[in-house]
């Protein structure tokens, strides 16, 4: 009985292996059926009768043909539609392999081409009848560029209907329902929108790299996200007077050089005009814009004007809010690289200098506040800060050298800074908050001032390269070091606790006359069960020269 069971199991295993090999071989074999010999569409096509007593073409009745013709009648009855997925080439393991089509001619009388009707069919040349009113979602989708025409009577183009085609020249859009991506990656050079439109769909002309001119009608209020993404030939844009919203990445990575605002009030979503490497000239005129800073992330904008504006002033090239009744009458909204007139303003708005470059950036205590991510993703060779408080303003920036004398360095103020190897905390700093210097991988050396009162929990967490901290205390009470303030993130969980550690070669260098005080105070660092045993710094304290 045991032997028989063993034989059955062995046979089953062999069968599974052989079956798997057959499936693999079948999948690797080009089991195409070849092309039909027929040139009569009535013979090589399959037709289905619709409820309105007209036919739709459902696909091939047998083998494919290279040059496909969609007729306008079958058995004396009109053909008006092409069924969804009618000519999709199915690449399934057990599916019938259909040869690729090369050309498609659609005769007059066909009204509707349904979703994905010709998806991946192989055709690169299409001639559509002017009677076609409806083109479905991804109707002609394929990775290769296609030659195609827009029917004169078209009324609806669903998502990506004419994407990746060589439709070119000037395009006037009027009385056509448009969905996202209709003309993505096409060759249109100029597009004009009629008064029929109030909204431009997302991705409408994304990657249309020949598009040079866009004319908006006065009825348009909304331009949705990525509508003109990566239109690298688009040099100038005028934002019409009634436009109220421009979506995320709408003109991101375009070839824009000049941008004019003529609208009254407009909300800009994040990265609306980001990474436009040649965008130097921006005229805000008398427009009031929301979220300017993050909208122009990593665009240079070296020439900003606000002619006749009642909202803004331009101070040495930076656009500023101006409010005489405010405690901060001048706040920079956005400014160019290497801006050096910070002594003339009182605050810096969020994302104001995101993605900019500075050889030397000096921020003195005349600055009352710096906004969220004001200098995120920037490249700064030398940084000096002495404002009272610095918050989360330098996220993911490259900083080569930094001296920070702020009274308080806030939570995540310098989150994921890269290139910084030596950090000097200047005299006057009293508090370094939780995770103030989180994940600065290259940071090796830190200088702490005598004025420092507290370094909070995980203040330098995941700064895994720190080996030397130099403390300038000459007399008085040592700084309070919270639990895990120099903890590495290299250790994992042990049960329910994190095994908190610091480097074996980590040293805090103190002067000889305060060594005993430091030894006594840091011997009793606060204990928190969730973070493992309380570690002490005694073995890491050394006398400095």
Same domain, 240 and 109: no
317 within some domain: no
Residue whose C-alpha is closest to residue 174's, from 205, 202, 152? 152
Cα–Cα dist 205/191, whole Å: 10
What gap in Å lies between CA 519 and CA 45, rounded to an integer? 90
Nearest to 339 by CA among 357, 351, 323: 357
CATH of the domain at 117: 3.80.10.10
Are 147 and 197 in a shared domain? no
41, 2: one domain: no
What phi, psi does 14 have (nearest 5°)?
Answer: -65, -40
In angstroms, rounded to a whole number, what is the distance separating the alpha carbons of residues 155 and 178? 9
State the pLDDT at residue 89: 80
Q: Within a 10 A sphere around the Cβ of 12, how many other Cβ atoms? A: 10
Q: Are residues 26 and 110 in the same domain?
A: no
What range does the domain containing 252 cover? 167-310
Q: How far is CA 419 from the centre of its chain?
A: 23
Residues 287 and 356 in one domain: no
- In 3-state terms, what secondary structure has residue 458? coil
CA distance 278 to 236: 11
Residue 465, number of CB atoms within 10 A of its CB: 13
- Asked whether residue 332 is domain-assigned, the answer is no
Domain boundary among 279, 295, 310: 310
Is residue 324 domain-resident? no
Tell me: do 532 and 402 sit in the same domain.
yes
H or E element that contains 2: helix 2-27
Strands 199-200, 222-223: pairing is: parallel
267 with 177, same domain: the answer is yes
Question: Cα(268)–Cα(255) distance, rounded to whole angstroms?
Answer: 19
Q: Which of these, 427, 473, 435, lies nearest to 456 by C-alpha position? A: 435
Same domain, 438 and 528: yes
Q: What are phi and psi of 499, to 5 degrees?
A: -80, 90
Residue 368 CA to its chain's centroid (Å): 31
CB 510 within 8 A of CB 503: no
Best CA proximity match to 150, nearest among 102, 106, 199: 106
The answer to whether residue 320 is domain-embedded is no
CA distances from 487 to 395, 418, 435, 517, 524 (A): 20, 18, 11, 22, 16
In which element (H, E) is residue 313 found? strand 312-315
Residues 487 and 370 in one domain: yes
Answer yes or no: do 26 and 38 share one domain: no
CATH of the domain at 411: 3.80.10
Q: Is 275 inside any structural domain? A: yes
**In the numeric block, which tokens belong to residue 466?**
């720190």
Contact (CB, 8 A) for 284 and 258 = no
CB atoms closer than 10 angstroms to residue 293: 25
**How far apart are alpha carbons 208 and 188 in whole angstroms?**
7
d(CA 318, CA 367): 15
CA–chain centroid gap for 14, Å, is 50
Distance (Å, whole) CA 13 – CA 203: 52
Q: Is residue 134 part of a domain?
A: yes
Together in a domain, 107 and 135? yes
Whether residue 282 is contained in a domain is answered as yes
> What span, in angstroms and rounded, lies between the C-alpha atoms of 543 and 513?
9
Give the mean pLDDT per block of 10 residues along the chain (545 residues).
49 58 46 72 95 96 92 96 90 61 96 96 95 97 91 97 94 97 96 97 97 96 98 96 96 97 94 94 93 92 91 93 70 94 93 95 94 95 96 95 96 94 96 94 96 93 92 94 74 49 86 93 59 61 90
426: which DSSP letter? -
Domains contained in the chain, number: 4
Burial classification of residue 297, based on how many CB atoms lie within 10 Å of its CB (0-12 exposed, 13-18 middle, 19 or more buried): buried
d(Cα 142, Cα 118) in Å, to the nearest integer?
9
**154 part of a folded domain:** yes
Residue 262 shares a structural domain with residue 122: no
The span from the CA of 199 to the CA of 534, in Å, is 60
Contacts for 510 with CB less than 8 Å, ≥ 6 apart: 471, 473, 478, 518, 541, 542, 543, 544
Domain boundary among 100, 128, 159: 159
Domain end point (choices 159, 184, 205): 159
């Amino acid at each position: 009985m045991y032997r028989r069971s063993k034989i059955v199991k062995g046979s089953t295993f062999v069968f599974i292996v052989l079956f798997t090999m057959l499936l693999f071989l079948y999948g690797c074999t080009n089991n195409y059926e070849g092309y039909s010999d027929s040139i009569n569409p009535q013979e090589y096509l399959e037709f289905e009768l619709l409820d309105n007593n007209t036919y739709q073409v459902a696909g091939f009745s047998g083998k494919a043909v290279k040059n496909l013709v969609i007729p306008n009648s079958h058995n004396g009855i009109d053909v008006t539609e092409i069924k969804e997925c009618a000519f999709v080439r199915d690449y399934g393991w057990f599916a019938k392999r259909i040869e690729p089509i090369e050309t498609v001619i659609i005769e007059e009388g066909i009204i509707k081409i349904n979703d994905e009707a010709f998806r991946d069919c192989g055709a690169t040349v299409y001639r559509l009848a002017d009677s076609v009113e409806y083109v479905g979602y991804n109707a002609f989708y394929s990775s290769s560029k296609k030659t195609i025409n827009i029917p004169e009577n078209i009324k609806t183009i669903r998502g990506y209907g004419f994407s990746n085609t060589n439709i070119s020249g000037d395009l006037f859009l009027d009385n056509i329902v448009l969905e996202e991506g209709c003309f993505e990656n096409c060759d249109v050079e100029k597009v004009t929108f009629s008064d029929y439109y109030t909204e431009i769909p997302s991705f409408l002309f994304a990657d249309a790299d020949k598009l040079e001119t866009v004319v908006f009608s006065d009825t348009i209020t909304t331009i949705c996200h990525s509508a003109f993404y990566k239109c690298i030939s688009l040099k100038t844009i005028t934002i019409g007077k009634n436009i109220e919203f421009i979506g995320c990445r709408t003109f991101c990575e375009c070839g824009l050089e000049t941008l004019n605002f003529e609208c009254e009030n407009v909300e800009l979503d994040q990265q609306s005009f980001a990474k436009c490497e040649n965008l130097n000239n921006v005229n805000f005129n008398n427009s009031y814009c929301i979220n300017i800073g993050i909208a122009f992330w990593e665009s240079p904008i070296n020439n900003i004007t606000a002619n006749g504006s009642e909202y803004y002033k331009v101070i040495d090239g930076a656009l500023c809010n101006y409010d005489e009744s405010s405690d901060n009458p001048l706040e920079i909204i956005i400014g160019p690289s290497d801006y050096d007139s910070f002594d003339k303003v009182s605050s810096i708005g969020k994302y104001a200098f995101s993605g900019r470059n500075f050889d030397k950036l000096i921020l003195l205590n005349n600055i009352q506040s710096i906004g969220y991510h004001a200098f995120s993703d920037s490249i700064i060779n030398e940084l000096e800060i002495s404002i009272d408080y610095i918050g989360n303003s330098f996220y993911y920036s490259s900083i080569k050298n930094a001296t920070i004398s702020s009274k308080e360095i806030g939570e995540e103020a310098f989150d994921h800074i890269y290139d910084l190897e030596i950090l000097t905390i200047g005299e006057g700093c009293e508090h370094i908050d939780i995770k103030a210097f989180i994940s600065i991988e290259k940071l090796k050396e830190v200088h702490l001032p005598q004025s420092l009162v507290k370094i909070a929990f995980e203040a330098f967490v995941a700064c895994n390269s720190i080996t030397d901290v130099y403390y300038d205390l000459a007399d008085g009470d040592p700084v309070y070091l919270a639990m895990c303030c120099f903890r590495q993130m290299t250790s994992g969980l042990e049960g329910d606790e994190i095994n908190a550690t610091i480097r074996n070669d980590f040293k805090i260098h103190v002067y000889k006359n305060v060594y005993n005080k430091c030894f006594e105070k840091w011997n009793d660092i606060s204990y928190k069960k969730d973070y493992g045993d309380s570690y002490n710094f005694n073995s890491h304290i050394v006398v400095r020269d």
